[in-house]
Structure 1
Amino acid sequence: MKNAIESIQQEIFEVFHHLHRHPEISWEEVKTTEFLRQQLLQEGYRVQTFSDCTGVVGEIGTGSLTVALRADMDALWQEIGGVWQANHACGHDAHMTMVLGVAKLFNRIGYRPPGKLKLLFQPAEEKGKGALKMLEKGVVDEVEFLYGVHLRPIQELKSGYASPAILHGAAQMIEGEIRGVAAHAARPHLGVNVIEVGSTLVQELSHIHMDPQVPASIKMTRFHAGEKSANVIPDYAAFTLDLRAQTNEAMERLLERLHHVANGISLIYGADIHLDQGVRIVAAQVHQEAQSIMERAIIQTIGREKCAPPVVTSGGEDFHFYSVLKPTLKTTMLGLGCDLTPGLHHPAMTFRREDLLIGIEILARAIIETFQQATQGEKDVEHFVKKN
């Protein structure tokens, strides 16, 4: 397999450089969708696109077992050199390259799965909505195993190492408003100052105590109140809260306490605090069988000593909606070490490109192992029936 990967190495890097040079933000991945569609057709896949959203699914083979690989497509919107633009600073260009690379590798080695293989290129991961859209489209309805992949920063995994699971945490964005009473700054007793209300909210949020064994945090990331007149007590403020928790249960408790605090402050000040739950990302629910298959694929590729334990990270990923909303789905994400610096979402993020080839081999071996395991299981059942 390694020789086959070396033979397509140049083609893989060309795919990556094309995707890297043509980033598109969430729900606008139009050219990316078309590029991937053409690549999948070239590799002999049946292709599905959608009339109302971006994204593309490639499918090959037939059979009772369906295995799928998922890659996210969207770039971030960032300021680079004083110019705001789309930028692949989260590695989605690498993820697409690896999933497409599996298709190219299988063709080169002549592998045809004894079942159905789906390659799912999903839009809008950064918005936390893309996986929900794909679930709505039914693209994983028949899927039994679903694998994902994500580059890991050097602080988590160095180049040459890989992890069979990424234990992402839950995330919740809250958009809030505070409505008070405007007044002359010389007569503060006649008004309700929304800045004071917001300040109290920040202080009380820091007093929310959770189980210290389960990481969780809540913090204000945006606050705007008042305009040009310095002698007016403002009566309106807008703010954003970012909530993180390592488990979905902890996130529910965090939300309950947030609403309790907001309601109490509203009563104390006579202000109206409105909270609107925005983007929600669920915490990882990894299936042990899928993780075990990925672990064996890592060991076969780079050796047991380079197979790291599951990565625990406070970051979020909408990949986990698939397993949470479809509990029968067996999922895990490959964490790929690649000396990624200075960090995910940094405008100047970079990583060791050669590690894409390791990721392709691991994912390919995981798929082959999954089909082999299912085929062996069918043979065992058939033998048992004949014997009895």
Structure 2
Amino acid sequence: MRTQVGIIGAGPAGLLLSHLLHLRGISSVVLEKRSRDYVERRVRAGVLEQGTVDTLIAAGVGERLLREGLPHHGIELRYDGERHRIAFEKLVPGRAITVYGQQEVVKDLIAARLEAGGDIRFEVEDVAAHSLADRPYLTFGGERLDCDVIAGCDGFHGVSRPAVPPGVLQTYERDYPFAWLGILAEATPSSDELIYARTERGFALHSMRSPTISRFYLQVPPDTDAADWPDERVWAELRTRLETVPGFTLTTGEIIEKSVTPMRGFVTEPMQYGRLYLAGDAAHIVPPTGAKGLNLAVADVRVLTEALTAFFHDGSTGALDGYSAACLKRVWRAQHFSWWMTTLLHTFDSDDAYGRRLQLSHLDYVTSSEAAATTLAENYVGLPW
């Protein structure tokens, strides 16, 4: 078999790349080790930046997003018994975020690719990348796929990044001393916008996925087992951390999913080697506080699409050679913003009274200074492409 671009991974990065390349007349094959049902049900991020929404609409896969997505024009910071709204419509006019689950984006992209005759192969075994320096090809399940370029979109634990020879890539990492316990509940959202709550007991986040499904997160120790958190305990802790302002009552319901997410930052440089180009979680991880993971993957894919278009249509290699440098500027900006939001809102050392006072002082500054609030807002909705 032969194609122009071999794509490892049928997550948002791989699927969007395949679709954008199709719109440019460039062929691709997507290889995914999981089943279609698994990737369409896998619950991940749900906050889409303005640029991500615009990209999906322009690619012709935004019909359901426009119909079912929940546009938000602000977020709430809650601390010290008070609520403070960061108003996007005032601080960054014309830009917002949209709440629309990552699994819904994946469903839309799979449907679009299959309708257009795209080649997506689910449940493939033993995927491996070879001859990356000059004549790349992929093997899987006893078959071989020759290609001009390989795109590694297979996540942090995938096979694409380890295929690079040792010593080529440099990695930067930071592990945080806590995790997030996340739940999905059949409960009407208690707020029209996301609530980021900083308390002495730890951070909490109130989010949503639809008018009837709510998403919550609790800061917990990194070794937490979700089984140690029965539903009653989860709701009690959420009430303690969120019902801290007058008039607010948390709506509860049946919990339909429960999981623990570690908090870490990770970047690999460069994001390319030979004819292999890494995108999304295969190249970088951010703590979810800043809601940047999926959006960074889309940004990578936009850059890679333009570079591949120049390569296949004009024979130009300049944009491909500069792919990593172009992406890393945005990656490191998102890393900093995610680190900043994380350190601003989470409880670290319980004995660090000095650090807690610094947090409160900074929160006071962000919620009282238009300049500081604008910095938060423009990073949160996504910097312009």
Q: TM-score, normalised by structure 1?
A: 0.25
Q: TM-score, normalised by structure 2?
A: 0.25
Q: Which has the larger radius of gyration?
A: 1
